[in-house]
Amino acid sequence: MKCFLLLLTGFSLCAQQPPLDLDAVRAEPRPDKRYEKALDFASEQITEARKQYQDGKFDQFRHCVTGVVEAVKLSDQALRGTGKNPSKSPKNFKRAEMRMREILRRLTGLEEDVSVDDRNVLTKAKSSVQEIHDNLLFDIMGRRK
């Protein structure tokens, strides 16, 4: 019984680990899993960006913020690659929209925490993510042509 619990715990820890880089995300063959991994990666990059900023590593901070935008773009491409209509089968699209909303909220919080001099990169990242989020939401609602 103890062996079974240890094995189960080991599998659950492995399943919750975010991908290490975007190449690992791109290697995922299934688009419905790829978009989730990309959004997990974006969320992890925000956490890492905050840590790098607090440690005074500004180049790595900018690299992490750029990684957030790339991951959100990859997520959007993966969703579009499923070939599904967002307004007719919105399940994965709505999940992605909610995760992007969370990413935007976290980017806003990070933007408020950094100095005025370093906000430029975050403002650009937020506007890119916001545009992708809005397009996805319009597609789900069925108003976009």
Is the CA virtual torsion 89, 92, 95, 96 positive or negative? negative
Average pLDDT over residues 20-36: 91
Q: How far apart are CA 96 and CA 58, in angstroms?
A: 29
For the entire predicted model, the pTM comes to 0.83
- Exposure string of 5-37, with b = 16+ CB inside 10 Å and e = fewer, is eeeeeeeeeeeeebbeebeebeebeebeebbbb
* Helices and strands counted in the chain (H then E): 6, 0
Helix, strand, or coil (residue 57)? coil
Q: Which residue has the tokens 């789900």?
A: 140
pLDDT at 143 over 70: no
Q: Residue 114, CB half-sphere, CA atoms under 13 Å: how many?
A: 28
- Looking at the chain, the whole-number percentage of residues with pLDDT higher than 70 is 85
Q: Helix, strand, coil % (nearest 5) of the chain?
A: 80, 0, 20
The ranges assigned to domains in the chain are 21-141
- Read off the pLDDT of residues 111-129 as tens digits, 9 standing for 90 and up: 999 999 889 999 999 999 9
pLDDT at 21 over 70: yes
- Read off the pLDDT of residues 45-77 as tens digits, 9 standing for 90 and up: 999 999 999 999 999 999 999 999 999 999 999
CATH of domain 21-141: 1.20.1260
